[in-house]
Amino acid sequence: MSDLIASSDGAGLKIQMGSCISLHFALLMPSGEEIDTTRRGKPASLTLGDGNLLPGFEEALLGLSAGDDVQLVIPAEQAFGERVEANVRLMAKTLFAEFNSEEPLEPGLVVSFQAPDGELPGVVKAVFEDTVQVDFNHPLSGKDITFDVSILSVAAPLAEDASQ
């Protein structure tokens, strides 16, 4: 029996790569703090594999059906990656002259530098006399994330599976 056939409980199609999905979700820290959600607004609509979700979150959706409400813990390495200490850099304070804004150069300030493949954001961790310590890790790196998801609808993959 194919995954494209309704499940025995009548819940409908099971999510697979290429499925068109409508869902509500919340991302929660281990403490329970909510860091992102669609639950107070419009549901998210996406095609699994289109790059809208990180691969670890997409993988967690595989096999779910419309009507499923689950909380899944996504390990740090499959969510926003592990923290890499080499991504914490000590930089000359003179490099921050361009950040002459209303916000003082202090811990917690998000700064962004031009990189070959776009912008590279970082968070100021410490300010010293001549240098500034900046953390270029994703702020959620090294943290397991709870993916609280409610699947609203699942449509079969288009193109390649439509002819099978």
Domain assignment present for 8: no
Domain assignment present for 47: yes
Q: What one-character-per-residue DSSP string does 5-74 give?
A: SPPTTS--PBP-TT-EEEEEEEEE-TTS-EEEESTTSPPEEEETTSSSS-HHHHHHHTT-BTT-EEEEEE
Q: Indicate if the pLDDT at residue 13 is higher than 70.
A: yes
40 with 73, same domain?
A: yes
Task: Using a cut of 0.85, tell me whether the model's pTM lies above it.
Answer: no
Q: Indicate if the pLDDT at residue 29 is higher than 60.
A: yes
Mean residue pLDDT across the chain: 85
31 with 72, same domain?
A: yes
Cβ-based burial of 13 (10 A; exposed 0-12, middle 13-18, buried ≥19)? buried
Q: What is the CATH number of the domain that holds 25?
A: 3.10.50.40
pLDDT of residue 159: 62
93 with 111, same domain?
A: yes
pLDDT in tens, 104-142: 788 998 888 888 888 888 999 999 999 999 999 998 999
Tokens of 161: 């599976």
List, in sequence order, every residue forming a beta bridge with 33; answer none if it has no partner.
none
Domain assignment present for 164: no
pLDDT of residue 76: 93
76 with 90, same domain?
A: no
Domain assignment present for 5: no
Cβ(160)–Cβ(4) below 8 Å:
no
Q: What is the CATH number of the domain that holds 112?
A: 2.40.10.330
Range of the domain at 46: 20-80+141-157
Average pLDDT value for residue range 44-71: 91
Average pLDDT value for residue range 87-115: 83
Domain assignment present for 63: yes
pLDDT band at residue 14 using 50, 70 and 90 as cut-offs: very high
List, in sequence order, every residue forming a beta bridge with 45; answer none if it has no partner.
22
